[in-house]
Chain A
Amino acid sequence: MEKRELVCVACPLGCRITVEIGDDKSVLSVTGNTCKRGEEYAKTECTSPTRMLTTTVKVTGGKAVVVPVKSASPLPKGLLMDCMKVINKASAAAPVKIGDTVISDILGTGVDIIATNNAE
């Protein structure tokens, strides 16, 4: 059995979580979290870690040069830089509205990249 100390990144509180991992890499127990999200975070972090990705996408035909975007849900941590390559080549035509899908199903992850601000 292995014990891992984690700092939860699910929200800014940063709870200190202790995870017990079995020899078969399965999560045996999660303690120290203060919410359900913390437990989920700890489990995912120890098996297949994911992160939210936030960046900008080029805007064409508008006043704004770029529009901020985020992944609609967390992406596999190891894919972040590859996703950036795709995002850097993309563009969105103005006007863009908060919530618009700018790139759908990035790198086949099933996760969309959506605008997080309006851009005229």
Chain B
Amino acid sequence: MTYDVAVVGAGVIGGLISRELSRYDIKVALLEKCNDVAMGTTKANSAIVHGGFDAMPGTLKAQMNVKGTVLMPELCEKLSVPYKNNGSLVVAFSDDEMEHVRQLYDRGVKNKVPGLSVIGRDKLRSIEPEISPEAVGALLCESAGIVCPYELTIAAVENAVENGVEFIRNCEVKAVNSVGGKYVLETTAGEIETSFVINAAGNFSDDLAGMVGDTSFKIIPRKGEYYLLDKSVGNLAVHTVFQCPNEMGKGILVTPTVDGNLLIGPTAVNIDDKSDTDTTPEGLDEILEKALKSIPAVSVRNAITSFAGVRSHPDTDDFIIGWSCAADRFLNVAGIESPGLSSAPAIALRVCEILSEKLSMPEKPDFKDTRKPPVRFRHLNDEQREELIRQNSAYGRIVCRCETITEGEIIDAVRAPAGARDVDGVKRRTRAGMGRCQGGFCSGKVVEILSRELGIPMNEVTKFGGGSKIIYERTK
């Protein structure tokens, strides 16, 4: 198969780039080494749309963040992805930290971040009622928000596939060969020929660049651990509550999620193994201890899960977006650490601009820029529910009782363009298994539906592809 462009990596960056490229009359393939989209950093981060006051003025981070945050609400609406403009706070606990907050304010103004103000103790307490009494003031950023990064990616890739992009999963690039003006990618899914390569391989983007002899940057994997708390405590924070940042990142935050849970984390530890997403006792303790400093009412009693993600910290410190120094049709989009999610919509546009320098990209007349909203039974009223079940009785069978997810929604998730192929994929698309019981009741049922829909035996269904088997042979 020959493509004009192969995007390597189906995280939020690769996903949004593919969706942006699907506007044009070119042949695009999105290659993903895992069994699903959003399997790397995208599925395990703070899910924040930052205001854009952190990055130093003039950096790509600052430009992309401010622009991306402006683009995010409309993009989410088009893709039917929940986004909430809840605002953020950087909380100070001392006069020194208050000074730091003022510096952030000044930096934000230079970066042209809208909706910034420095607030005192009383205002802080009135807009964030559970904030620690030790807090003396904060930087309020009204333009900040929250979004679900994997839902955004799933929606973007779905939309891209509807517009003609080919999504190829379980396709790990092992070598890049330049043959007669084209690249031939040796992958775990066979050889793929392409004129251009867009390197959105996240933590592995330096390895991929290395395959064309580009050693201009190095990714330093930096692990961050999180706790996700039950919806019953989702209202402990109204805004995304940061503490003053340090050289390793933005510190431990406490934030509501778009789904109504409370998220606390992340730690920041440089690691050697890029695929090490194990949580650690020390990390989990650290999160709790620091989160308590911001919001004393937080308790692990309400934890429903913990997880870790690995940030793609580049040794160059800034985002790397541009043609490789070593290969002329190889475009690096690398080192996209925080504020990568916020920047993603702007990065996708930027990549199209750069690509158009070398590739003719006529617009498609029939590009569909919206994604059909998925059915969310739990959000419907009784009349809508009745109508839905009349159309398809599978919406009348509740599979996940904690989150009220129907069999119909799970079937939709599997049949969707670039749909779910494993239990975690169903979970990220529908929330089945994401509630209090964490799949205790419904995981077996989800395995059964996947087995039926994919036409494979139950014991070939995996948790997240590869060797993540759930059950083995028949007992008898």
A residues adjacent to B (C-beta < 8 A): 56-58, 65-66, 88, 91
Contacts and interface: CB of A to CB of B under 8 A. Distances in A.
A91 B476 CA distance: 9
Q: Across chains A and B, which 6 residue pairs bring their CB atoms closest together, nearest first?
A: A58-B476, A66-B476, A88-B476, A56-B475, A56-B476, A66-B475
A12 to B, nearest CB: 24
A56 B474 CA distance: 12
Contacts of B475: 56, 66
Interface in B427-476: 474-476
A107 B295 CA distance: 66
B209 to A, nearest CB: 51
Nearest to A87: B476
A65 B476 CA distance: 9
Interface residues of B, number: 3
A90 to B, nearest CB: 9
B34 to A, nearest CB: 31
B423 to A, nearest CB: 20
B70 to A, nearest CB: 56
A65 B475 CA distance: 10
10 contacts: A56-B475, A56-B476, A57-B476, A58-B476, A65-B474, A65-B476, A66-B475, A66-B476, A88-B476, A91-B476
A68 to B, nearest CB: 12
Interface of B: 474-476
Query: Interface on chain B toward A: helix, strand, loop, or mixed SS?
Result: loop
A59 to B, nearest CB: 9
B113 to A, nearest CB: 60
Contacts of B474: 65
B271 to A, nearest CB: 44
A66 B475 CA distance: 9
Contacts of A66: 475-476
A74 B475 CA distance: 23
A86 to B, nearest CB: 12
A83 B401 CA distance: 39
A103 to B, nearest CB: 13
Contacts of B476: 56-58, 65-66, 88, 91
A39 B83 CA distance: 68
A88 B473 CA distance: 13
Contacts of A57: 476
A88 B476 CA distance: 6
Nearest to A88: B476
B474 to A, nearest CB: 8
A58 B475 CA distance: 9
Nearest to B458: A65
Contacts of A88: 476
Nearest to A58: B476
Given A58-B476, A66-B476, 8 more contacts: A56-B475, A56-B476, A57-B476, A65-B474, A65-B476, A66-B475, A88-B476, A91-B476
Nearest to A57: B476
A57 B476 CA distance: 7
B339 to A, nearest CB: 51
B451 to A, nearest CB: 13
A65 B474 CA distance: 9
Nearest to A55: B475
A57 B127 CA distance: 63
A88 B475 CA distance: 8
A58 B474 CA distance: 10
A38 B475 CA distance: 34
A57 B474 CA distance: 12
A31 B476 CA distance: 43
Contacts of A58: 476
B448 to A, nearest CB: 12
Contacts of A56: 475-476
Nearest to A91: B476
A65 B451 CA distance: 16
A99 B476 CA distance: 21
Most buried by B among A57, A65, A91: A65
A66 B474 CA distance: 10
A57 B475 CA distance: 9
Nearest to B476: A58
Contacts of A65: 474, 476
A65 B448 CA distance: 14
A65 B473 CA distance: 13
A29 to B, nearest CB: 43
A46 to B, nearest CB: 34
A67 to B, nearest CB: 10
A30 to B, nearest CB: 38
B71 to A, nearest CB: 52
A102 B474 CA distance: 19
Contacts of A91: 476
A104 to B, nearest CB: 19
A82 B474 CA distance: 19
B314 to A, nearest CB: 52
A91 B475 CA distance: 12
